[in-house]
């Protein structure tokens, strides 16, 4: 049987692909467990500097959760389901390496929640976004009601979650939900180019940028700025800082 989540390493970039194209890469228990394994693998590999999360085929990034699996759940079972999904979203958010979501097609429900847990989102022009859970009588359960307002503002986020509206990539860019929108045929090229540019930077500095921003935006400015200073100071314990600054000084001398 084909693996439901693929893991591939390209130089310093790990590519994690949800591989259920026939089901629009819908999330189920097995997919979530496999995603956790792949993300743990990337986290443990010191050669990996950047992770790309994507979906197989060209119809969907992740079209949401597997509704057939969710349909018979009781409230306690639904809570367990939500906690499993939260583990994946938290892993993406807290991974000490930048994660880029490469989105081609439907990015709905849990798929959008996982994309929002990534650090950067690049979408094809044909991609569609939304949190349509309310149309099924439920609400997002993987921090969708929390991350969307933080990304695009509370007012618009409430409208999208309360209506279940599905919107296109241009609007996603206008809302500030995605970083770039490109034609499908250049999506991989654009994503790998950005991942490679990040991978060539100091791995520790990239970790500190992500940590400082993620933690800082969840607290007040004074606490956040002091936390940033601590992250800044830690960079001075690395070889990359010594070499990078020495190279800059030597170049200025010439």
Copy the structure tokens of residue 128: 């569609």
Is the domain of 16 the same as that of 123?
yes
pTM of the model: 0.95
Is the domain of 142 the same as that of 230?
no
CA angle 157, 155, 84 (to 5 degrees): 30
Is the domain of 174 the same as that of 210?
no
Is the domain of 189 the same as that of 221?
no
DSSP line for 26-71:
-B-HHHHHHHHHHHHHHHH-TT--EEEEEESSSSEEE--B-HHHHT
Chain-wide mean pLDDT for the chain? 96
Copy the structure tokens of residue 36: 């956790």
Q: Which domain holds residue 140?
A: 5-199
Instruction: Specify whether 125 is catalytic.
Output: no
Is the domain of 142 the same as that of 191?
yes
Question: In this predicted structure, what is the pLDDT of residue 254?
Answer: 63
Is the domain of 192 the same as that of 239?
no
Q: At what angle do helices 75-94 and 29-44 cross, to 10 degrees?
A: 20
Number of domains composing the chain: 2
User: CA–CA separation, 189 vs 197, rounded Å?
Assistant: 12
As a whole number, mean pLDDT of residues 48-67 equals: 96
Is the domain of 211 the same as that of 186?
no
Q: 182, 199, 216 — which closes off a domain?
A: 199
Q: What is the pLDDT of residues 120-158, one digit of tens each?
A: 999 999 999 999 999 999 999 999 999 999 999 999 999
- 203 to 65, 74, 139, 209, 233: CA distances (angstroms): 33, 44, 37, 10, 15
pLDDT band of 252, cuts 50, 70, 90: confident
Instruction: Specify whether 113 is catalytic.
Output: yes
Is the domain of 112 the same as that of 156?
yes
Question: In this predicted structure, what is the pLDDT of residue 59?
Answer: 96
Q: Which residue do the tokens 């390493």 mark?
A: 9
* Catalytic site residue from 3, 77, 125, 133: 133
Copy the structure tokens of residue 137: 């009588």
Q: Are 108 and 164 in contact (CB under 8 A)?
A: no
Is the domain of 189 the same as that of 208?
no
Is the domain of 155 the same as that of 51?
yes
Is the domain of 38 the same as that of 86?
yes
* Catalytic site residue from 113, 165, 222, 243: 113
């Amino acid at each position: 049987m084909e693996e439901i989540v693929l893991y591939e390493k390209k130089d310093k970039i790990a590519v994690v692909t949800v591989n259920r194209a026939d089901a629009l890469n819908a999330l189920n228990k097995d997919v979530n467990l496999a995603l956790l394994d792949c993300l743990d693998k990337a986290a443990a590999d010191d050669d990996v500097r950047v992770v790309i999360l994507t979906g197989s085929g060209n119809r969907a990034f992740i079209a949401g959760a597997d509704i057939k699996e969710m349909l018979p759940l009781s409230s306690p079972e639904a809570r367990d389901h939500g906690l499993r999904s939260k583990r994946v979203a938290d892993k993406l958010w807290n991974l000490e390496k930048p994660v880029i979501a490469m989105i081609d097609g439907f990015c709905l429900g849990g798929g959008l929640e996982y994309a929002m847990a990534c650090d950067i989102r690049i979408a094809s022009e044909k991609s569609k976004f939304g949190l349509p859970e309310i149309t099924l009588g439920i609400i997002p359960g993987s921090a969708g009601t929390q991350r969307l307002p933080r990304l695009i503002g509370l007012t618009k986020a409430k409208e999208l979650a309360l209506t279940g509206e599905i919107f296109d990539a241009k609007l996603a860019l206008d809302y500030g939900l995605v970083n770039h929108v490109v034609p499908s045929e250049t999506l991989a090229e654009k994503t790998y180019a950005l991942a490679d540019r990040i991978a060539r930077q100091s791995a520790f500095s990239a970790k500190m940028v992500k940590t400082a921003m993620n933690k800082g935006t969840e607290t007040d400015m004074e606490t956040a700025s002091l936390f940033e200073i601590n992250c800044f100071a830690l960079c001075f314990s690395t070889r990359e800082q010594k070499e990078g600054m020495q190279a800059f000084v030597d170049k200025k001398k010439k």
